[in-house]
A and B are shown apart, each in its own frame.
Chain A
Amino acid sequence: MKKIVSLLLALVMVMSLSVTAFAAEPVVNDGTKGTDITVGGEYKAGDSSKAVVSVNITWTGMSFTYNGAGQGTWDAGTHTYTGSTEAGWAASNASITVENHSNVGVTATCSFAKADVTGNNAGLTFGNNGATVAAHPKSVDTASTEAAKSATITVTPNGSLDSTFTGDSIGTITVTIAQAQ
């Protein structure tokens, strides 16, 4: 019983404790010496500008031609073909250019989703994929006269199409833009 009463008393005492606010106390000055007041300071960094991502993406033509293998010309005298050609993709120079108008650096990453159509075994290879493009120079230094930074990702077909391919699209390229870390 005594313990319970003691505990209750202790609880009441703890609850009655007030929190002292450290307000400046008035000071009486009798003119014999100065009263000192300490001035405190805190440094707070300015709000950093919110990242604004804005990128221009330009594409060259994305049409690729796959040439099937050619046996060549039948030579009736030798009963052989001459000038055979192997199957393959015609030469191309496709690319995607990413121009950064953001106030942050960005990365550009391409991916290819193959169309699910008969005879389509094509794929794409991306050169310089995941390129990092620096922020617009004027966002770093407003006095800058430099143009927006850009990066080029090359697109090269691989795989194959076979004779059963009658479709038009071999797939879709997606360019994903993300703030560079």
Chain B
Amino acid sequence: MKKILSLILALALVMSLSVTAFAAESNTATDKTPGTKVVTGTYIAGSTSDVISVNIEWGSMAFTYTGASAGTWLPDSHSYSGATEAGWSCVDGENVITITNHSNVAVKATASFAKADGTNLTHSFTETSETANDGVVALATAVGTQVSAAPSADIVFNITGGSISADSNNLGTITVTIAKSTT
């Protein structure tokens, strides 16, 4: 009985298999008329996706506020000489943000500064490669460039005004955002 059932199942399986019929094309060719066949082709463009990869490097971003100095007292004239004003300073190069584009598209890097709460600081961004000095730099695609020669630009950050107290050490945060260039 079991054998019969097995046979029936096997038969059902075999019958359910479909057979693709490769209909044969044919031409009739003679010694006067050769057989012909149109050969078709389709072009499918290779898929490319945008890859954004930008290296961002920066210096210590450590700024020093130095209070004003009256200078040297001259008792004969009752005046000071060599007075210095209060101001901000940063070690050369430590206030530079370097942005290097390794993307396969052109990108735009935008730097913005959020001063720490309670401070009255003013700041500036200066681009070494552009003149707008708005904290925005455009970088060309890296396609066609050596890795070591990827498109790169510097943004220099400075504190230009305001002051901090002796117990302050956080001035704020610079945020650099990267976006595919639309132009």
Q: Is the CB of B183 closer than 8 A to any CB of chain A?
A: no
Chain A residue with the shortest CB-CB distance to B82: A49
Tell whether, in the assembled complex, residue A35 and residue B60 are in contact, meaning their CB atoms are under 8 Å apart.
no
Beta-carbon contacts of B68-110 to A below 8 Å, as 1s and 0s? 1111111110111000101000000000010000010001000
- Counting contact residues on chain B (CB < 8 A from A), the size range is 35 or more
- The interface on chain A, measured as residues whose beta carbon lies within 8 A of the other chain's beta carbons, has a size of 37
Stretch at the interface among A11-19, A24-32, A68-76, A159-167: A24-32
Tell whether, in the assembled complex, residue A42 and residue B64 are in contact, meaning their CB atoms are under 8 Å apart.
yes
Q: Is the CB of B178 closer than 8 A to any CB of chain A?
A: yes
CB-defined contacts of A49 to chain B, threshold 8 Å: 69-73, 80
Chain A residue with the shortest CB-CB distance to B73: A103
**Cα–Cα, bound, A142→B81 (Å):** 12
Tell whether, in the assembled complex, residue B52 and residue A39 are in contact, meaning their CB atoms are under 8 Å apart.
no
Q: Is the CB of B166 closer than 8 A to any CB of chain A?
A: yes
Tell whether, in the assembled complex, residue A27 and residue B55 are in contact, meaning their CB atoms are under 8 Å apart.
yes
CB-defined contacts of B64 to chain A, threshold 8 Å: 41-44
Q: Is the CB of B177 closer than 8 A to any CB of chain A?
A: yes
Q: Is the CB of A79 closer than 8 A to any CB of chain B?
A: no
Least Cβ–Cβ distance between A149 and chain B, in angstroms: 12
CB-defined contacts of B76 to chain A, threshold 8 Å: 54, 101
CB-defined contacts of A27 to chain B, threshold 8 Å: 55-57
Q: Is the CB of B129 closer than 8 A to any CB of chain A?
A: no
Q: Is the CB of A48 closer than 8 A to any CB of chain B?
A: yes
Q: Using known A-B contacts A44-B64, A44-B66, A49-B70, determine if residue A31 contacts B168 with beta carbons closer than 8 Å.
A: no
Q: Is the CB of B172 closer than 8 A to any CB of chain A?
A: yes
Q: Is the CB of B160 closer than 8 A to any CB of chain A?
A: no
Least Cβ–Cβ distance between A74 and chain B, in angstroms: 62
CB-defined contacts of A148 to chain B, threshold 8 Å: 78
Q: Using known A-B contacts A28-B55, A41-B65, determine if residue A52 contacts B72 with beta carbons closer than 8 Å.
A: yes
Q: Using known A-B contacts A29-B56, A31-B178, determine if residue A136 contacts B65 with beta carbons closer than 8 Å.
A: no
Q: Is the CB of A36 closer than 8 A to any CB of chain B?
A: yes
Chain B residue with the shortest CB-CB distance to A45: B67
Q: Using known A-B contacts A26-B56, A42-B65, determine if residue A101 contacts B78 with beta carbons closer than 8 Å.
A: yes
Beta-carbon contacts of B151-173 to A below 8 Å, as 1s and 0s? 00000010100011111111111
Which A residues contact B (CB, under 8 angstroms)? Answer: 23-31, 33-50, 52, 54, 101-103, 136, 138-139, 142, 148
In the A-B complex, the 9 residue pairs with the closest CB atoms: A46-B67, A54-B75, A103-B73, A31-B52, A46-B69, A37-B174, A101-B75, A34-B175, A41-B171
- Identify 30 residue pairs between A and B in the complex whose beta-carbon atoms are under 8 Å apart, listed by A's number: A24-B58, A25-B57, A26-B56, A28-B53, A29-B53, A30-B178, A31-B103, A31-B179, A33-B177, A34-B176, A35-B175, A37-B61, A38-B173, A39-B113, A39-B172, A40-B62, A41-B159, A41-B168, A42-B64, A42-B169, A43-B167, A44-B64, A44-B65, A48-B69, A49-B70, A52-B75, A101-B78, A103-B73, A103-B75, A139-B80
Which B residues contact A (CB, under 8 angstroms)? Answer: 52-76, 78-80, 84, 86, 97, 103, 107, 113, 157, 159, 163-180
